[in-house]
Amino acid sequence: MTSPPIPEGFDAITHGWIGWLRRAPWVRWQLQRQVSRLSMGQDVLVRLSQEEFQQQLEAMRQAIRRPQGKDFPQGILAVLSEAAFRSLGIRPYPVQLLASLAMQKGFLVEMATGEGKTLVAGLAAVMAAWSGKPCHVLTANDYLASRDAQIMAPLFACCGLSVAAIKAEMPPQERLLPYQADVVYVTAKDLLGDFLRDQLAARQGVSQERKKFNRWLGYARGDGQPLLLARGIHTALVDEADSLLIDEAVTPLILSAPRQTQGMDRAVQVASQVAATLQEEVDYEASIKRRHITLKPSARETMAGVAEQLPPLWRATARREELLRQALVARKFFIRNQNYVVLEGKIVLLDEYTGRMTPDRTLSAGLHQAIEAHEGVKISQSSETLAQRSFQNFFRQFARLSAMTGTAREAVGEFWHIYRLPCLTVPTHRPCIRRLYPPKVYVGEEEKWCGIVAEIAAIHASRRPVLIGTRSVRASENLAARLQEQGLQFELLNAVRHQEEARIVATAGQEGCITIATNMAGRGTDIKLSEIASRQGGLHVIVTEMHDAGRIDRQLLGRSGRQGDPGSGTLFFCLEDELLIRFLPLPLIKGLKFLFQSGIWGGRAAVIFAFSLAQKRAEKQARHRRHDVLQMDRWLDSALPFEQ
């Protein structure tokens, strides 16, 4: 199975114009007219008995399987709306019907937070599954997969469909039955992992003819072991598309097996000890922007002096210097409670965009072992790559792909260029009355944190709930300690304290509640306001630091003001923030400090513009990284032409 080629050159320009036409304003007007036509007959359906309504459902199911061209059976949205009401007690809003129809037509739907994306995905999944083709609903994590499948189960049962959810802890033999369901809720990581396992299994066999015969039977090999994805892949409905299709696209998924590398544990420990004695600018240079270490002669000489302590395999100049370089990268660029945590004596990486732990993810090229040596935990074995594929390459193989998210407009061009997904912005059911206050700018980090604590105290005094979004576990713990000093009660949600996520999110909208959270609280959750909190002005969101992608800032601020609720938000800047330091030259940052501290007119505006520029550079760099990963996939496909 191969992915369609990505347009290049003049083809890319033409392709871009087609994408603009597919997401032009009049497209939404056309879809809205179709929603009105396909929703006709609602009054008649309400008066039908359950038996008569089931006959209508079956008739619609048979109709959607017959060729309709690009059109849909008359009244299909009216039938689905009535099915949702009878099974879930929820009558879909017109904007939800619009979104579900757009997804069924292969659009990327942008819907604001709290507009009911779970129901939208369920309605679109019903239409997709009625066709008889495999339908997978991709979620951001296991919790959302299980929750959404459970919530939508009555709707699917009413429509004569089966539903299942895949969890990461499920062994392969327990995944066989869930994958046979008409609709499967699963994370992208699990689905791609199982897809690669099937690919590896299908490559075994005596001959090509035997492989094809086994696959026709639905078996991986002659011993009767079935494929996990025996039904194959056809339709994917992606929730939180910006996270799965953009942010996660940087990291390819790799299936690996442990490989014993002689003397590696001793080698990384020696390199870590040497790295602890070296000084930056004296023994090595560190490029924060490129995250690269350049060794100076003194560092090379020091490492050469301890070469006899290394196992024989690691004594060569190139190998020992690479060991030292990785040890310095681990110390300089990987920060505990920001990039990883130490849990039960193991290094667990943190996802940069969601703040969640990724226990099954490791760093390659000995970097993971270098971090383990730095933290003094047991050195794990290196691994051997069995198969790998990026999410970009994988999702482009689906015959039908559609998606939804709350923040898509910043990457509409990339969504179309890579995945051929035109973006459609769906209006809110009720007007958004969220108020965004002007950003607050500070010179130093300490001054900024003091300003954040003061704002929290002021908002808390009015009994409004406050949600504070931080970029890292370390930042959330730092803020928690400051609030404790002020005697303020709060809830803390981060990768280390994730066990009570559902309870914390459920109470975050109560009056007087203070919630500190990393980005993990910003995906797939709704913060519902109490009546008192709503009367006081709703949820106030504080973003403590700009992220590398503007989508994440907008997504966090979107936690407030959902479904017409009141709310507000404030963004805090500091001239010592990581984003500014990584993506702008130091002389420019010093000039900004001088302008701002001098009180010169326009100094504050210049700082805000600088942050915007740094964020655009970060987004551009991320796009280049995703392009490199995609190019690597294309190279592997051409260099290793396995039958798929």
Q: What is the 3-state secondary structure (H, E, C) of 581-621?
A: HHHCCHHHHHHHHHHHHHCCCCHHHHHHHHHHHHHHHHHHH
Asked whether the domain spanning 261-380 has the same topology as the one spanning 10-253+390-425, the reply is no
Give the CA angle between residues 616, 451, 437 to the nearest 5°: 55
**Nearest Cα residue to 552 out of 523, 515, 594, 592:** 523
- Residue 355 has a pLDDT of 62
What does the mean pLDDT of the chain come to? 84
Contact criterion met (CB below 8 Å) for 579 and 618: yes
Asked if the 435-574 domain carries CATH number 3.40.50.300, the reply is yes
pTM of the prediction?
A: 0.81
The angle at the Cα of 337, spanning 460 to 476, to the nearest 5 degrees, equals 5
Q: Which CATH architecture has domain 10-253+390-425?
A: 3-Layer(aba) Sandwich (3.40)
Question: What pLDDT, in 10s, does the model give residues 302-343?
Answer: 999 888 888 888 888 888 888 898 899 988 888 887 778 888
Q: For residue 19, give every residue at least 6 positions away whose Cβ sits within 8 Å of its Cβ, in sequence order, or none.
A: 412, 413, 416, 417, 420, 422
When computed from its CA atoms, the radius of gyration of the chain, rounded to whole angstroms, is: 27
Q: What is the pLDDT of residues 467-518, one digit of tens each?
A: 998 888 888 889 999 999 999 999 888 766 555 666 777 788 899 999 998 8
Q: How far apart are CA 538 and CA 182, in angstroms?
A: 40
What letter represents residue 250's amino acid? V
Neighbours of 205 (CB within 10 A): 17
Of 469, 512, 466, the residue nearest 494 (C-alpha) = 469
pLDDT band at 423 (very low <50, low <70, confident <90, very high): very high
CA angle 121/21/392 to nearest 5° reads: 50
Domain residue limits, the chain: 10-253+390-425, 261-380, 435-574
Q: Is 427 exposed, middle or buried (0-12, 13-18, 19+ CB in 10 A)?
A: middle
Q: Would you say 552 and 522 are in contact if contact means Cβ atoms under 8 Å apart?
A: yes
- What dihedral do alpha carbons 371, 374, 379, 385 form, nearest 10°? 20
* Three-class SS state of 186: strand
Alpha-carbon span 398 to 421, nearest angstrom: 12
Measured distance CA(15)–CA(150) in Å, rounded: 40
Q: Looking only at Cα atoms, what is the longest distance across the chain?
A: 88
Of 571, 569, 553, residue with least CA distance to 561: 569
CATH superfamily of 261-380: SecA, preprotein cross-linking domain (3.90.1440.10)
Question: Which tens digits make up the pLDDT trace of 57-83?
Answer: 998 888 888 765 556 778 899 999 999
